[in-house]
Amino acid sequence: MASAGSGIGGVLLKLLDRLYRQAATGFAFACFFLGGGVLAVVVFPVMAWFRQFRRQHAQRVIRSVFRFYLGMLQGLGLLRLEIGGRRRLDSCRGRLIIANHPSLLDVVMLMALTPNAQCIIKHELWNNRYLGGVMRRAEYIRNDLEGEALIGACRRALDGGANIIVFPEGTRSRPGVMPRFHRGFANIATLTQAEIVPVVITCSPPTLVKGEHWWVVPATRPTFRVIVGEHLETSGYKTDRHRAVDSRRLVARMEAYYAERLANV
């Protein structure tokens, strides 16, 4: 009887834990979008009254907010976070940071961890009701710019010491599927000669994956691991051959890098 009672109690505790995490996840999402609106409508305009408002100011505020938000998620018991090679991010300046994209939270984590972070964002976010004002104030780079304009914007950001975050897959990946990269990041790297810092992100069990609703929480609290690799020189990938050939070589190199590190995850 005691064994049966313990079994029922264990099932009930798991059910209550999942219900709590569903409610806490809803609260966290509400905070995210409400916070974006407050930044765009209240915080940034007020900051502009007191001093010359610059892109760097907005980006520092966004990083601080994301660091707070990441801490809140951990405090609510919604995730565990393990970071390897953090000093490599701390010392980054004028580099191209690329990462695989298993979860919706990857952007939050990299933005919170990366100093002087600049992003290439989907153009839909530019006019998003909740986050568009934040994107415009921070002067993030739209991904729908013409090729030369996009490279020029990236070159100016890198020359100014910003670290550009790119998710080469273009969208969240499916669990168990090896990343397939678009050539955009490779074009930027070869044309600007920016060093690449690869970041490998894993999440076990998977959560907030592509096509999954926010309220579908995993059976147990997920653990995110963010591993920052050694930087990669890109000068050897720029040759006198056609740009597409150089880019494909670099894409193949980075896909192999991620395949090796994700093979046993």
- Domain count for the chain: 1
pLDDT tens string 7-62 = 787 788 888 999 999 999 999 999 998 888 788 777 777 776 765 667 777 888 88
Measured CA to CA, the distance from residue 239 to residue 248 in angstroms comes to 12
- Taking 80 as the threshold, does the pLDDT of residue 94 lie above it? yes
Measured CA to CA, the distance from residue 182 to residue 248 in angstroms comes to 9
SS3 label, residue 177: coil
- The larger pLDDT score, comparing residue 2 to residue 262, is at 262
The terminus-to-terminus CA distance of the chain in angstroms comes to: 40
pTM above 0.85, yes or no: yes
pLDDT tens string 115-148 = 899 988 887 887 777 777 788 878 889 888 888 8
Range of the domain at 45: 2-262
pLDDT the model gives residue 135: 82
> Rounded to whole angstroms, what are the CA distances from 125 to 129, 132, 135, 176, 228?
8, 5, 7, 28, 27
Percent of residues, the chain, with pLDDT higher than 90: 54
CATH number for the domain that contains residue 232:
3.40.1130
- Taking 80 as the threshold, does the pLDDT of residue 231 lie above it? yes
Other CB atoms closer than 10 Å to residue 251's CB: what's the count?
A: 21
Average pLDDT over residues 219-233: 94
The mean of the pLDDT values for the chain is 87
SS3 label, residue 29: helix
- Taking 80 as the threshold, does the pLDDT of residue 249 lie above it? yes
